[in-house]
Structure 1
Amino acid sequence: MANTPSRTPLAGGFLLAISLVAGSVIGAIAGQPSVGFVGGLGVGLALTIGVWLIDRARR
Structure 2
Amino acid sequence: MSQSPNSRAPRATGSILAFAILAGAAVGSILGQPSAGLLVGAAIGAAISVAFWLKDRR
TM bin (shorter chain): 0.7 to 0.9
CA distance in 2, matches of 1:16, 1:50: 12
1:29-58 residue CA offsets vs partner (Å, 9 max, x unmatched): 00100000000011000000001011111x
Match of 1:44 in 2: 45
Q: Which runs of 5+ in 1 are unaligned?
A: none
CA RMSD of aligned residues (A): 1.2
Aligned residues: 54
TM-score, length of structure 2 as denominator length: 0.84
Structure 2 segments unaligned to the other structure (5+ residues): none
Query: TM-score with structure 1 length normalisation?
Result: 0.83
- Superposed structure 1 runs of 4+ greater than 6 Å apart: none
Paired-residue identity, %: 43
